[in-house]
Chains A and B, each alone.
Chain A
Amino acid sequence: MKKMLKLFPVFLLFTTALFAQNPTVTGTVTDQNNVPLTGASVTVKGKRGGVTTDVHGSFKITVPSPTSVLVISYVGAPNQEIALDGRSILSVSMDVKNSKLDEVVVIGYGTQRRGDVNGAVSSLSAKDIADVPQPNIDQMLQGRLSGVTVTQNSGQPGAGVSVHVRGITSFTGSEPLYVVDGVAIDGNASQQANGNSSAVNVSPGPQETSFSVLTSLNPDDIESVDVLKDASATAIYGSRGANGVVIITTKKGKAGQGHLGYDFYYGRQDQARFLPMMKLPQYAAFENNLAGLFGDSKRIEFADPAKLGPGTNWQDAIFRGAPEYNNAISFSGANNKTDYYVSGGYFKQQGTVISSNFNRYTLHATINSQTKDWLKIGASLTGNRNLTNVSLGNQYGLVYLALLQGPDGPVYNADGTFAGPAIINGVAQGYANPIALASLITNYLIRTNAQGSMYADVKFLKDFTIHSEVDGNFNWTQSHIFVPTYSYGQTGFPPAYSVTQNRLLFNNDYDSYWSWLEHLNYSHTFGGKHNVNVLVGHEVWESNYDGINAGGNNLISGNTVQTLNLVYQPSTLDGEPKGSQSMESLLGRVIYTFDNKYSVTANFRRDRSSNFAQGYQTGNFPGVAVSWKLSEEPFMASTSRILSTLKIRAGYGTTGNANIGQYKYGSAINGVASGLGEAFLFGNLNNNPLTWETALQKNLGIDFGFLNDRITGSVEVYKKTSKNFLFQKPLPAFLVGGVAEYSTNAVVQSPWLNAGQIENTGVEFNISSRNIVKKDFTWTTNVVFTHFMNKITSLNGVPALPGYVTTGFGPQLTVTYSQPGTAVGEFYGYKSQGVIKTQSQFNDLLANPQNVLGLTSGNTQPVTSDRTVGTGVYYGDLLYAGRDAKGDPNKLYNLGSPTPAFTYSLGNTFSYKNFDLSVFLVGSQGGKIFNAVSLQTQGEYALYMNQLSKMANYWTPSNPNSNIPTPRASFGNNNLVMSDRFLENASYLRVQNLRLGYTLPQRIAGKAKMSRLMVYVSGQNLWVITKYSGLDPEVGSLNQNPTLSNIDYGRYPTPRLLTAGLNAEF
């Protein structure tokens, strides 16, 4: 490697020295928005032959005389004739008609006109997402692109988002690769080089801790987003493109006078939905009933429930109306040689749950310069800093505690101190006070990031360009948790909760990524009809991470100054997460187009990854795509007035995945603590021949345009097969150990394997229609539809990959079972037959005994009316299907998939004179949610735990029509096993965005020296139509784990947001 780095400057020197002066004309061709046009043809008037522009819109042509006239032509734009008048450098702007098919699409290591693309690519431009008040670009993609499923995993400010391009294809994370101005960022938060850039759990148990990898990017700086979906498009990214590639290009300065832009909005977020929990009188009566059923004494203070007030509404106490605001300023411009764009942004968001918030500062600059006629150089730099207050996270977090806390306890005592549950008989009559925890515990995450890229394009000979690029990405992450000493409780009782020893945890992590790319481009048109575009490249990257985890207990100095310096007793949690990865790739692509009708793209990439053992490191990833523009054929001429564009595309390709981290093929020994001093644990079983996971994808697409492209769209059908996918073989505990009391510290991890196969098939389409285009009134409509199904076709002998959850402090519950023939993360459990209400149901129970609790073999559940027996079953309990006379365990069923049948969106934009209005709806149809929080909120198994209001209406002989089971003691009782009782329909339709804007007339704006002033009001997440009973039907997957999708743990709900903003240009 060192050798290469030494060569690099030498190489640049040579290429720059090589081809100096030539009696030629050079120039660039752009559209009216200064976007380079590739494939524009440049000829000398009156002469045959000519050249076409390259991916950067540049051309070089030899002219017979300095006064020749050049003819520039480009599909969709009127030809331009330009007299040279002695000039040797030209900048040509073409007036390209506004059709989707003419937009420039980034295809990886280059660009193409949408109309020329052979693979499946979805794109979004700045104007599609302008003034959508979302802090992160990944959230903005939701519903906008066909084939791209975006779910917000949490409403927590800064929290992670799941982006799935064409389904779930892997167990090691299915998030796409993001390429921001050439800098690659892995979408799998946990697979980032720095696996530690996440919040730390305050308590054991699953929590959403991953954070959006794109929080570093200010959406205001984004010019376009292109998503490469099929393998023929992504194969050029080889191993890194298996889950799709999202290419994000930032804004560049545009020709003309310099621009100064200022964007501002202010918004207020509110929690739109609350769960109907019991108020105090109902709660008191319910507790009394429960005590009776469980053989406990009734509480004296609940003697007369009707006389009680409403009690504390804990949901009101933790949710708040929360402001957010965004400030972004930019200046940009371009002359014929140099363009520049510089921006700064500040975004501040309070969370709707107390003590959570998010702040971001960004600075971004891009400059490009045609320094010489044969040399173009440019650079892009971004720096940003994020501060997130994480508070307590999801499970056992604030929402969870607020739901379960009884309404009998106050938030504060009369003296203003935090109240806690009463202590009676030595037992706390409730849960920890979420308001107290939120106020007392400090848990924040600071991330600082610098990323940048630099490139040089050297043109030589005719038609050749060498592109040299160096990219870097550097992250510093600091997370900090401090649990102070505290003691609180209700006045008149001993403190319910006290900590006499404070605790500090501190993680400081650093990671770096660099890459170096060289590619040679050749572009030529032979005989006017044969266009060839060749790319050959070499890329190498390395990433490193290193961190320090430290902590300590018992800061005698108190709680004010929270620093490691004051730690009296350091913790042996101290550790150093450290590692690295590297990859080297050769890549090549040929695009051949004949007569603008027939086109073939062939690409190939060869990757070598350090994540595998020597001998297993290399993978080859070819791809090919063809297209045929039928509408260019003479035989279609007769229909061209109606069917203006028709193109058929077919693609086939392979991509790979090596996303497993370092040295997973070998076995490591970890140093851990013990009472005997440093101890050594076996980390995992090894599997040396571990190698690439590959995905094979077939794609068929049709692009169409009707009525002179007033209506355009495309339809895609695909099948994606992932083979030899990488996963950790789930070995049973008897071989390697297993989780015990929430701890897996000493388990010998199962070996990583290449095994199995997943198939995703899907259909997706998008249609854009300019319904009305009048001088004063326009109306456009966008429809996006996405459907996919995934199916595991093989796990190579492993029966299933179970997905476990733990709720409350209960046992591990298997809720999903991904097995051959099912979807990934399919729900699995017992099928309920309703509450036992009738004699005939009861007789059926006696004839075919219930056995859903796995008692010692041969034991069925006792039929008993004693509600203290958790294993018992009787009138009022749930009966489950799949029983038999022998008393065998009840049958387990596949209960449905978390994957929706389809997702869709509908966007309408209207403009009338200076007003514009847009309405954007997104929806998801089908799919199931496992409402895990309802195991508690509808659990009815213990005292001192608030319940959904409807639970008071449980079945009794005198309330014979209720479908709610009668309370039974013990968590995990007959009524609380994993069953369809807790599965709900996940369908929803959301009014995602409604926006009304007004652009001030030029004459008024001009008086303030403004070239443009627009003001708007906007509502985000205004209304959700759903049958789901939880706080929010959009659940996502827990830490992006595909086997734990749509499991609602009392997730931080997405708020409703109202904003007002302005957009000024000077």
Chain B
Amino acid sequence: MKHIKLFLGTSILIAVMASGCKKDFFNRPPENELTVGTYYETVAQVQASTNILYAAPWFGLNGKALLSIGDLQSGNAACYAGTDGAFDVFRNLSEGNGTQAVQSAWDAMYTVIAQANELLINLPPQATANGVPAAAINNALGEGRLMRGLAYFYLVREFGNVPIITNPTSDASTFTSVPTNPVTDVYKFIVQDMAFAVNNCTPGVAGTGHASSNSAAGMLAKVYLYLQNYDSARYFAEKAINSGEFGLVGIDAPGTYTSMFELSGNNCKESMIALQWTSNAGYGFGNQLQSVIAANTTITGTGDGYGELGPSWDLQDAYVAEGDTLTHSDSGRRHGVLMMPNDVYPEIQKAAGGYTVPASINEQGMHAGMKKYVIGSPADNNNNTAAQAAGNNTYLLRLADVYLIEAEAIMGKASGVQPGTGIPMSTTSSDPTALKYLNLVRKRAHVPLLTSFTYQQLLNERRLEFAIEGEYWYDLCRIDGFNNPHHPTAISIISAQNRGNSSGAGTAPNYTDYTRNTYNVTPTDNQFVMPVPASESTVDPALLQAPVPYKF
């Protein structure tokens, strides 16, 4: 009896131990996330898979980096000495490899590239296996390559030689010796990506916020303009223009220059490629431009509005010189870019009947404030803005740009300059097509139309049209010719700017009444390329060495 009990007892114990748990007990895929194997099953999923490429990965560029590189460095904007270090080094072009905005610009663009690469690698086999139609797949791949190409376009303009990465896993074990690729190869790569997008993206969808084939054509035109391939630039610019998909706000579509940068301007007729932010997902998913540049928290109503940049004297003067008067009655282009004392903005503080800019406004000592991308409080925007997260788009390309690209391509072609040599500033054109597009932009801006124009005027037009969109710096970098290490023209433009602020507060009737402090900066040629962030070059010293041709 006793032996039987012993046998039973121990055999049950052994059975428990030996049986173990089922295999399923240890198979635990994520319970609140998808995996590659559970996605790309429908057309809708494939279409939504590119949404991310217009949003969160760009966040690090769309703030301090965009403005300090594009507008502060180029002299459109001004700031004090001795702020938190994010901006003021760009004031005298002395950013280093540890400067936050330098790292942000690099990291954000490679974040876009990383997300695009994963999409391009994982989507085709999975979606094909799931029977998703080729058209949907190709459109997604086109968008993926367009946004990847665009990210490389920012990188090559900022850092020059950069590594071209298409598959992170192939470099994951050798990343300490990945070299950079030369500027020319990076551009060649960008052209390939964008040409693919032109051929594969669906046309006519830009109004949904997704780039269309024609959006890609406009962007490719811009890349060709930088390459000084004027024929191709003109070809693709006209492809975009003639598609009929886009129109100028204020001329072909309702609205004004100012309203284009309001929430209501999202995906307007002029928008070709834009970042698509959301206000209700917190930091990192919304547009933070307003929080950075709005003059005060009264405007934003969300505790931010740090007023970190003011419009430079040089920019204010440039608007006056162009006939954009600085009086508050003006409703033209300047009104949409800068706030001057006593300006009235009905779209801000709507409940109080609009916002009247106080006479004492003095952002960064410049006796003016920033307006572009400043949209007001949640109450002004049907709650579609929050702290450091507004819901308005950021333009990466709009039709006005393509119009001016068209004009410049015509002028460049006629001037006969070769790639590597800039168009002389005094070059004049009265080409009717070029004039037509330039004057459309000027007409919308309420400035006098021209009968002929110099390259200097065209450049100035670009500056005024795209101020505070992070654009002017890249123009200054390229006007001495594609991939030219010398920048005599740009240096002469920059060294003539007064980058100082003013002394003291006040409520003077004219902005010229204030005493200006003088601060001049004369850059050197190598300040036209930013240093590779230290966080990258310490890990991969090869980034600091001579570039290696890319194997296409």
Contact = CB atoms under 8 A, between A and B. Distances in A.
Contacts of B107: 733, 737-740
Interface string A21-32: 000000000000
A681 B104 contact: no
B302 interface: yes
Interface stretch (B187-195, B292-300, B312-320, B405-413): B292-300
A812 B285 CA distance: 20
Given A582-B26, A682-B119, A745-B284, A812 B31 contact: no
B245 to A, nearest CB: 18
Contact of A553 (B85, B163, B171, B378): B378
Interface string A805-820: 0001111111000000
Contacts of A943: 82
Interface stretch (A253-261, A596-604, A606-614): A606-614
Contacts of A554: 378, 383
Contact of A18 (B8, B39, B533): B8
B9 A14 contact: yes
A1 interface: yes
B459 interface: no
Interface in B35-53: 35-36, 39, 48-49, 51-52
Contacts of B275: 675
A502 to B, nearest CB: 10
Contacts of B112: 737, 746
Nearest to A676: B51
B209 A576 contact: no
B255 interface: no
B383 A677 contact: no
Nearest to B97: A854
A705 to B, nearest CB: 41
A426 B363 contact: yes
Contacts of B15: 7
A745 B393 CA distance: 19
Nearest to B295: A426
Interface stretch (B221-229, B324-332, B523-531): B523-531
Interface stretch (B230-238, B440-448, B536-544): B536-544
B280 interface: yes
Contact of B84 (A10, A290, A608, A971): A971
Interface stretch (A326-334, A757-765, A856-864, A922-930): A856-864
A735 B118 contact: no
Contacts of A748: 111, 114-115, 118, 168
Interface string B3-45: 0011011001101110111110111111111111001000000
Contacts of A62: none
Contacts of B242: none
A596 to B, nearest CB: 30
B89 A970 contact: yes
A146 to B, nearest CB: 37
B55 A738 contact: no
A802 interface: yes
B26 A811 contact: no
A204 interface: yes
Nearest to A733: B107
B172 interface: yes
Interface in B160-191: 162-163, 165, 168-169, 171-173, 175-176, 178
Nearest to B5: A18
Contacts of A739: 60, 103, 107
Contacts of A498: 297-298, 301, 303
A729 interface: yes
B152 to A, nearest CB: 11
A466 B285 CA distance: 57
Nearest to B173: A797
A937 B373 CA distance: 35
B27 A733 contact: no
A554 B279 CA distance: 12
A500 B302 contact: yes
Contact of A569 (B39, B168, B280, B307): B280
B86 interface: yes
Interface in A1-28: 1, 3-4, 7, 10-11, 14-15, 17-19
Nearest to A682: B118
A19 B301 CA distance: 78
A487 B298 CA distance: 10
Count chain B CB atoms within 10 A of each CB in A540, A808, A856 and give the residue with the most. Answer: A856
Contacts of B383: 501, 553-554, 568-569
Nearest to B506: A425
Contact of B96 (A673, A804, A854): A854
A742 interface: yes
Contact of A15 (B9, B51, B379): B9
A570 interface: yes
Nearest to B34: A669
Interface string A965-983: 0000111110001000000
Interface stretch (A346-354, A866-874, A1018-1026): A866-874
B176 A797 contact: yes
Nearest to A423: B296
Count chain B CB atoms within 10 A of each CB in A674, A802, A871 and give the residue with the most. Answer: A674
A666 B85 contact: no
A674 B25 contact: no
B428 interface: no
A579 interface: yes
Contacts of A295: 81, 517
Given A461-B6, A501-B301, A674 B172 contact: no
A741 interface: yes
A734 B361 contact: no
A747 interface: yes
B368 to A, nearest CB: 10
B541 to A, nearest CB: 9
Contacts of B295: 426
A499 B535 contact: no
B70 interface: no
A561 interface: no
A434 to B, nearest CB: 15
B81 A969 contact: yes
15 contacts: A1-B22, A568-B383, A573-B282, A580-B28, A610-B26, A674-B285, A675-B275, A682-B119, A734-B178, A735-B175, A737-B113, A748-B115, A812-B535, A853-B94, A870-B85
Interface of A: 1, 3-4, 7, 10-11, 14-15, 17-19, 204, 290, 294-297, 424-427, 460-461, 466, 483, 494-495, 497-501, 503, 518, 520, 536, 538, 540, 542, 553-554, 568-573, 575-582, 584, 586, 608-610, 614, 617, 662-663, 666-683, 685, 729-743, 745-748, 751, 797, 799-800, 802, 804, 808-814, 853-859, 862, 868-871, 941-943, 969-973, 977
